[in-house]
Chains A and B, each alone.
Chain A
């Protein structure tokens, strides 16, 4: 009873590279047993320790699947062929991965510390972090996470690289100005560490997409620059149970904490309500020391790595305040708010809300203010119309760029100094982008002045009228 057993390419190596082996058997089970008795490694590959065929093994007798007959008891006769055919299947999802030899060399300085070691490095490789923003904080954060071997780094941003970003956003470079921040960051991260996977989400993080996005990551690192997104990141982290390695920066000061850990507070426990709109200027208005996001973003990376590795004491329940001018750190305790609308036991917020409305950004000004374009302003200047061009920016901004013939009174000084202005004159008011000057116009009109706002401010002037005026 000569039966041929044919092996697939992948298994021949375990049978002295033979493609076909002849045995003498009455059943499929007999035939396989004879095959294995001569080739034990083949048995290990094909049979489970319990003596059953492994899930990927199909056995055919001539053209028929043995499972459709009597399985291993299927009878065979002289001249039959038994085919062992692997079931080739698979699909997406992510699994635990081992370190390659090259990775072991790359991460040597981690591997020799018992607190990290091979086990910790494997955790990093199998971990995923979502960086919200590829800006000042996101730059050092993503770079250090990539260097440390965090296997999947997601970035969500929808901006392009602007020259004014390069004073601090070190993940981008001069050649990338005008291109997508995500593409620029990806190139740099993959260049630093090709072993990692970079996932780009070129979209504005919103109440509609945050929860689904956060679900796919282990840790969320908040590097946003505005309150609406900060509350959204906080709430979506709490709702999905993801820790939030939080950082923020302003001029010479930074804040750092970890929110959303079990039993730990969230951002709302610290700040239940956002500040009134316009009270706290953003970095584009108030400026920021270029290296400051380097300090804070790097600390966010430290906290993120600690969370993944499960080592040390996470910065939960503590808010660290950094002052670059004093070169000092202060640590404040943050308690979990038992009545927190999102992270308490009885939350009132069970899905992301409208954060623009929450932060008061949708409130219309109570009175509409008259406004002209920079083209209108140019025409008025050319015609030598009689008016006062009032600049309400700060003196240091005035030094960077100004429109000739303007009078400078910073917005903050206006309540004290408006008396210097001529009530009978037409006032045309501008700032950098049109926001502060709108508030100045509103104030001046309440005081009885004939004031008009310049839409888009000096940036629009530079863009459309006089490119020799620098944008900043």
Chain B
């Protein structure tokens, strides 16, 4: 089980989250939709990180993020029929570890990768990717493989 991507994509995700500090940064992970998307142990190829504004109301942006469903629908429409899709999401945890929270779990979609970047004092210090288990009860960590 892994998330394969490249350093340029990683840099965009990390920079977005560092810039958003002390608030949470977030965005979409785009790439080819794998045939075995729902199989535990699948490998995901991410070829683009698309930063989006944190749509949560201003009061709790330091520990919450929200991606505007309208923007998500637009991107899905844009990728329609191309074989690529929104295969995951990235967001940051300012100060606290890059481990999914109970709220992350409540809101988690199946199959997708959830890439969490820990930002400490404005700098990225840890980066971990997670996939919801099939029964939706917890997350399981997947390896991030950086190529090129």
Contact in complex: A10, B111 (CB < 8 Å): yes
| In the assembled complex, A187 has its CB within 8 A of some CB on chain B | no
Which among A86, A94, A97 is the interface contact of B109 at CB below 8 angstroms? A86
CA distance A129 to B11 in the complex (A): 31
Contact in complex: B133, A95 (CB < 8 Å): no
CA distance A92 to B54 in the complex (A): 14
**Chain A 137-166 against B: per-residue CB contact (8 Å), 1 yes, 0 no?**
000000000000001100000000000000
Of A52-60, A301-309, A313-321, A381-389, the segment with at least 4 beta carbons within 8 Å of chain B is: A52-60
Nearest A residue to B42 via CB reads: A13
State how many angstroms separate the Cβ of B97 from the closest Cβ of chain A. Answer: 5
Chain A hits for B103, CB < 8 A:
89-91, 93
Chain A hits for B138, CB < 8 A:
95-98
CA distance A428 to B35 in the complex (A): 83
Given known A85-B73, A88-B107, contact A93–B141 (CB-CB < 8 A): no
State how many angstroms separate the Cβ of B8 from the closest Cβ of chain A. Answer: 22
CA distance A152 to B97 in the complex (A): 8
| In the assembled complex, A197 has its CB within 8 A of some CB on chain B | yes
Nearest B residue to A20 via CB reads: B80
Which among A10, A55, A89, A98 is the interface contact of B112 at CB below 8 angstroms? A10
**Chain A 57-100 against B: per-residue CB contact (8 Å), 1 yes, 0 no?**
01010010000000000000000000101111111111111101
Nearest A residue to B133 via CB reads: A98
State how many angstroms separate the Cβ of A71 from the closest Cβ of chain B. Answer: 16
Given known A90-B101, A199-B97, contact A9–B66 (CB-CB < 8 A): no
Given known A60-B69, A197-B126, contact A90–B99 (CB-CB < 8 A): no
Interface core residue of B69, B73, B79, B86 (most chain A CB under 10 Å): B69
State how many angstroms separate the Cβ of B39 from the closest Cβ of chain A. Answer: 9
Chain A hits for B89, CB < 8 A:
88
| In the assembled complex, A12 has its CB within 8 A of some CB on chain B | yes
How many residues does chain B have at the interface if contact means C-beta atoms less than 8 Å apart? 57
Chain B hits for A93, CB < 8 A:
63, 96, 101-103
Contact in complex: B104, A90 (CB < 8 Å): yes
Chain B hits for A96, CB < 8 A:
138
Given known A89-B64, A197-B98, A197-B99, contact A60–B73 (CB-CB < 8 A): yes
| In the assembled complex, A215 has its CB within 8 A of some CB on chain B | no
State how many angstroms separate the Cβ of A297 from the closest Cβ of chain B. Answer: 24
Contact in complex: B76, A97 (CB < 8 Å): no
| In the assembled complex, B21 has its CB within 8 A of some CB on chain A | no
Which among B100, B104, B107, B141 is the interface contact of A55 at CB below 8 angstroms? B107
Contact in complex: B86, A9 (CB < 8 Å): yes
State how many angstroms separate the Cβ of B30 from the closest Cβ of chain A. Answer: 9
**Chain B 102-123 against A: per-residue CB contact (8 Å), 1 yes, 0 no?**
1111111111101000100000
Contact in complex: B65, A85 (CB < 8 Å): no
Known: A8-B72, A87-B107, A89-B56. 5 other contacts (CB 8 A): A13-B38, A56-B106, A60-B69, A94-B101, A95-B101
Interface pairs (22), CB distance under 8 Å: A6-B76, A8-B76, A9-B112, A12-B37, A19-B80, A60-B69, A87-B67, A88-B69, A88-B89, A89-B56, A89-B65, A89-B103, A90-B91, A91-B64, A91-B93, A92-B94, A94-B99, A95-B104, A98-B133, A197-B97, A197-B98, A197-B99
